[in-house]
Amino acid sequence: MVDASVDNTRRVLVAADKFKGSLTAVEVAERVTAGLRRVVPDLRVEALPVADGGDGTVAAAVAAGFERREIRVAGPLGQEVTAAFALRGDTAVVEMAEASGLQRLPAGVFAPLTASTYGSGELLRGALDAGARTIVFGVGGSATTDGGAGMLSALGARFLDEEGEPVSPGGGGLGGLARADLSGLDPRLDSVELVLASDVDNPLTGPKGAPAVYGPQKGASPDDVEALDAALTHYAKVLEAAVGARAAEHAAAPGAGAAGGVGYGALLLGARFRPGIEVMLDVLGFAPALERADLVITGEGSLDEQTLHGKAPAGVAAAARAAGKEVVAVCGRLALPPEALGRAGIRRAYPLTEIEPDIATCISEAGPILERLAARIATDFLT
């Protein structure tokens, strides 16, 4: 029997990202909902799984009502894979990790010098073929550091060496680039609004550029990082000769270094850079859902310093705080003090480790533990 003091008239919005390696954003929402309803069986819960532009972005769009479209494209090593984008009306959500992400590499294999974004360009072309007039291009989780050259090639650009032959795939091949020709780019790109959605604002090259900051995560050795930075610097100079000063301006712009420089390629296509979570909240219909909510539950696998710099929970909390809504968070691991959470607009965070100290068990049993945490939230905030 539910205690008479339980307030079941309140409406809860669950707007959390995935727990990477354990639960998808959809599964997080399901488990939180189940846990809340252990305490308040007829509680009104609205689930809106979110993503910040990285892996899981298409799944979040599909959960919000977009149609999933699958096509065959090239993976980062050229192998054919089935990748998906999301479509609703004339708006498409394209996730570059679907084609060119680390998850597309064989287990334990990295290819920092040769992995290509060609398949991401094929995904964009698929969205154009489907009639998209607005394309949200979510970037993150990439296996690549090719400055978007592969993507541009799939859309009609040509990158040639001294012999007039196409350069080798990947960032390493750009060191031999002699000429770039963007005149053959798909003309439909001129009439499409392309939004570059990313949670990072790095430039293309330099100490804060794509190779230096993210190359090691993709298996790049110090020598590889140096080679990739030199190759991408050369690539931008060759493009400057081809398309003018805007090539250099885009290389230094925020977001150019996103996903191994695919952001740079998107900027060359005329994309507008926006923080990924802001774009996705707009696309997913977060504002009206927030208006209906009394309590917002957000979260992700690890709440840490990175969370505060453009990750989904920070974006959700900022929007909720602006609307005067109370926010709590769930997570696998909590590495932020209460004062940092408070500044981000999060009243309290509930980590899985609060119930189960063993990290391995938290990962393997994330769902059941999360349900127990959600029951605690219901007890603390809804009774």
Q: Where are the beta strands (DSSP E) in 216-267?
A: none
In the structure, what pLDDT confidence band is assigned to residue 5 with cuts at 50, 70 and 90? low
Question: What tens digit of pLDDT does each residue of 45-66 get?
Answer: 999 999 988 889 999 999 999 9
Q: For residue 309, what are the domain limits?
A: 11-48+287-381
**pLDDT of res. 54:** 86
Of the two residues 1 and 142, the one the predictor is more confident about is 142
Cβ-based burial of 28 (10 A; exposed 0-12, middle 13-18, buried ≥19): buried
12, 293 Cβ separation under 8 angstroms: yes
What DSSP string describes 138-150? E--SBS--STTHH
Residue 3 is assigned to a structural domain of this protein: no
Q: Are residues 352 and 253 in the same domain?
A: no
Six-digit token pair at 2?
């539910």
**Residue % of the chain over a pLDDT of 70:** 98
Residue 28 in 3-state DSSP?
Answer: helix
The CATH number assigned to the domain holding 372 equals: 3.40.50.10350
Query: Total structural domains in the chain?
Result: 2
Q: Are residues 252 and 328 in the same domain?
A: no
**pLDDT of res. 302:** 96
Q: Are residues 242 and 114 in the same domain?
A: yes
Residue 4 is assigned to a structural domain of this protein: no
**pLDDT of res. 1:** 41
Q: Are residues 169 and 219 in the same domain?
A: yes
Q: Are residues 65 and 22 in the same domain?
A: no
- Rounded to two decimals, the pTM is 0.92
Cβ-based burial of 79 (10 A; exposed 0-12, middle 13-18, buried ≥19): exposed
**pLDDT of res. 6:** 54
